[in-house]
Amino acid sequence: MESKRSHRWRTHVKSALASTISMTHELGIAEALARGPGRPLILGYHRVVEDFASTARHEMPSMLTGAEMFERHLDLVGRHFRFATLDEIGERLASGEPFHERVAAVTFDDGYRDNYEHAFPILQRKGIPAAVFVVTDLVGKPCWQIHDRLFHLISKAYSAWDNPRRELSALMRTLALPVSHLLRARGATRSPMATVSALLPELSVSNLRRLMAALESTTGNGFYDIPLSLTWPMIEEMHRAGIIIGSHTRRHISLPAESPETVIDELEGSKRAIEEHVGTPVVHFAYPGGQFTPRDVEKLEQTGYRFGYTACQHRDARHPTLTIERLLLWEGSSVDSDGEFSPAILHCQVHDLWPPARTCARVHHV
């Protein structure tokens, strides 16, 4: 109860602050501090679902945006930015040709089927271009995204364990997994979502599978209604309609956690699979989880990608077009303390009017 009151109080403060900052920007007072034409706004989403509240009861909330909220986001951004394709933005950044107006692009990570079912019709109706970064080994298959499966297993274990932090730490020690140090911070185990966020960047796919197998054998799976991925016919239809199809690796790996050979295989394999189906070169790539090191950026260039997209403002000065910043959004990114859409909060986000974060929690260095 205390945690809920604290969260509500913080959201009240955030809403009031956003209203003040947004008003000063609209009046031109904060214009010099806002995102200028030289920094394209690239929005990143994951899933667009019919109803956020009902889906969030059993799926990762931070991956979800309701169709109604998604449309509100597009309408507000469209009042301040011109929507452009990633091809246009990438070519301008590569050539150094300046932008004379604020531009924005819409992207989706992972390749969930609801991108086709809910987001695609909205984008077509509004005439807005977009890009989808797909995990190619999952296309057309009734298989879990790795983060979704881990979230469900962790959630089930936490509901069964008396002391989740102690139980999970013991399980990881038994498996000799190299990230038990992450769980020493209480924040890393305050919720299933926090635990998933702590583990995914640090574990290779093979170690994640070992952990999930152990969790399943300990508490069972209880699985139902796997969030489905796009099929190749859906991807091909979207591509014909102008949606750019980019790579998000073959299996949604955390690049820094894998060997150089595995990184190359994931980058080349996903690129080749998409090109075989859409018939055009694949030059756009989104780093899973926004995790990358200088080594990974070099591998991206080596395998023929021209543009890479992050999940923060961290850039590699040697490869600026392979580390293009994005703003990741979900349903909760723009709601007030009553859970209602706040144009002021979203306005501050897209214009980058919030104070910058002290540090980036993602992995960028080996």
List pLDDT tens digits, range 50-80: 999 999 999 999 999 999 999 999 999 999 9
Least confident of 63-67, 80-84, 292-296, 362-366: 362-366
CA distance 349 to 351: 6
What angle (nearest 5°) sits at the alpha carbon of residue 39, between those of residues 38 and 45? Answer: 155
Work out the burial of residue 122: count CB atoms within 10 Å of its CB; fewer than 13 is exposed, 13-18 middle, 19 or more buried: middle
Q: Which residues of 216-255 are buried (b: 16+ CB within 10 A; e: fewer)?
A: beebeeeeeeebbbbebebbeebbeeebbbbbbbbbbbbb
Q: For 177-186, 197-206, 316-325, 327-336, which range has the lowest pLDDT when averaged over its residues?
A: 177-186
| pLDDT tens digits for range 121-131 | 999 999 999 99
Beta bridge partner(s), residue 245: 132
Claim: this prediction has a pTM higher than 0.75: yes
Flag whether pLDDT at 224 surpasses 80.
no
Closest to 68 in 3D by CA, of 55, 58, 57, 79:
55
- Per-residue confidence band for 15, with pLDDT thresholds at 50, 70 and 90: low
Q: What are the two backbone dihedrals, phi and then psi, of residue 286, each rounded to the nearest 5 degrees?
A: -115, 130
Highest mean pLDDT among 11-15, 168-172, 327-331: 327-331
- pLDDT, greater one: 265 or 338: 265
Give me the mean pLDDT over the 86-112 stretch: 96
Residue 355 has pLDDT above 70, yes or no: no
CA distance 1 to 217: 33
Query: CA 226, CA 135: separation in Å to the nearest integer?
Result: 15
pLDDT at 317 over 90: no
* 50-64, 267-281, 324-338, 352-366: range with lowest mean pLDDT: 352-366
Could you tell me where the beta strands, DSSP code E, fall in the chain? 41-45, 47-49, 64-66, 82-83, 103-110, 131-134, 244-247, 284-286, 307-309, 327-328
pLDDT above 70: residue 193:
yes
Identify the band that residue 1 occupies on the pLDDT scale cut at 50, 70 and 90.
very low
pLDDT of residue 69: 98
**Lowest-pLDDT range, 12-21, 80-89, 94-103, 247-256?**
12-21
d(CA 193, CA 211): 16
Residue 26 has pLDDT above 60, yes or no: no
Please report the pLDDT score of residue 361 as a whole number.
66
Give the pLDDT band (50/70/90) at residue 19: low
pLDDT at 314 (0 to 100): 83
Token readout for 261 is 């050979």
Locus of tokens 């075989």 = 276
Tally of residues, the chain: 366
What per-residue confidence (pLDDT) applies to 167?
93
Inter-CA distances, 9 with 61, 187, 347, 349, 355, Å: 21, 20, 21, 20, 19
Mean pLDDT to the nearest integer, 281-303: 96
- What value does the mean pLDDT of the chain take? 89
282 band by pLDDT with thresholds 50, 70 and 90: very high
**How do residues 150-159 score in pLDDT, each as one tens digit?**
999 999 999 9
Q: Which of 166, 136, 105 lies closest to 253 in space, CA to CA? A: 136
Mean pLDDT of 313-319: 87
